[in-house]
Amino acid sequence: MTTSPLNAIPSAPPPSEEPLAPLDAIVTLADQVADRIVDAIAARRLVSGQRLIETELADALKVSRVPVREAIRILASQGILVPAPRRGMQVATFDAAWATQLHNARVAIERLCARIVADKLAADRTPLHRLEACVAAIDAAAQRPQDGWLRLNRADIAFHTAMFEIAGSPLLTTLWNAISRHVLIMFSIETYRDTDFERVTQEHRIYVDVLLSGSREKLDAEIDTHVAGLRTFPHALPLPDPQ
């Protein structure tokens, strides 16, 4: 009898009982550099079309060129930086088409995320403490308007990051991480002429209340309202250069 090739393969050893080593939860230096670049774009210290110089960024952030180069690669993969005409990378253009695409993508994944979180909260209110802490951080930032919008907008991003982490969907979290820096830039455009800091706190309190309501219809409507954003600020595009 001819032996099947499958039968000829020796049995695999039993799985190891040793657990995988835990991952380091500390944000990488490259990601920190990427966040600082996005902060500069959000604060209009870097503007669309401006070329990034690795040595200047490294000197400003007091790091080597290695994490700067990796940060530029990360932001290029996310579409925040684009190739410059001759060489290097420059800040992308954030126009109405970009805003529409970002809005539609965010509504789609946020609606899925919110439904999962609402179902989890209906079964167990434990994650509510984290959301309430995020709202408290937003409120703390709103009480210090002298710090400017960037701190408040970062607290807003942290709330939505918490939502995706509570949902526990690796796919949705990956999609959110891919656009969250774009959302921060969007926030800077939305809030450019807005002085109502406390409005942001109230919006997130309403969002949490709707999550707890158990109403899918109210939740979908709240997502549309909460993410509407730039449609309320058509005058904000294009974002003017800083004086």
How far is residue 226 from each of residues 16, 205, 210, 218, 229, measured CA to CA in Å?
A: 47, 11, 11, 12, 7
Residues 182, 128 share a domain: yes
Q: Do residues 106 and 42 share a domain?
A: no
User: Is residue 197 one of the residues assigned to a domain?
Assistant: yes
**pLDDT of 154 above 90:** yes
Per-chain mean pLDDT for the chain: 84
Domain total in the chain: 2
CATH assignment of the domain containing 77: 1.10.10.10
3-state SS assignment for residue 139: helix
pLDDT in tens, 111-121: 999 999 999 99
Model pLDDT, residue 194: 65
Whether residues 218 and 146 fall in one domain: yes
Is residue 47 located within the same domain as residue 142?
no
What's 139's domain CATH number?
Answer: 1.20.120.530
Report, as an integer, the average pLDDT of 173-183. 95
Same domain, 140 and 203: yes
**Rounded mean pLDDT of 208-212?**
96
The answer to whether residue 52 is domain-embedded is yes
Query: If DSSP codes are grouped into helix, strand and coil, which group holds residue 104?
Result: helix
Residues 229 and 147 in one domain: yes
Quick check: is 81 in a domain? yes
Which is nearest to 227 in space by CA: 79, 94, 113? 113
Are 82 and 104 in a shared domain? no
Show the domain range for 48.
29-91
DSSP for 196-215 reads -THHHHHHHHHHHHHHHH--
* In the chain, % of residues over pLDDT 90: 62
Pair (72, 185) in one structural domain: no
For residues 229 and 114, state if they share a domain: yes
pLDDT band at 96 (very low <50, low <70, confident <90, very high): confident
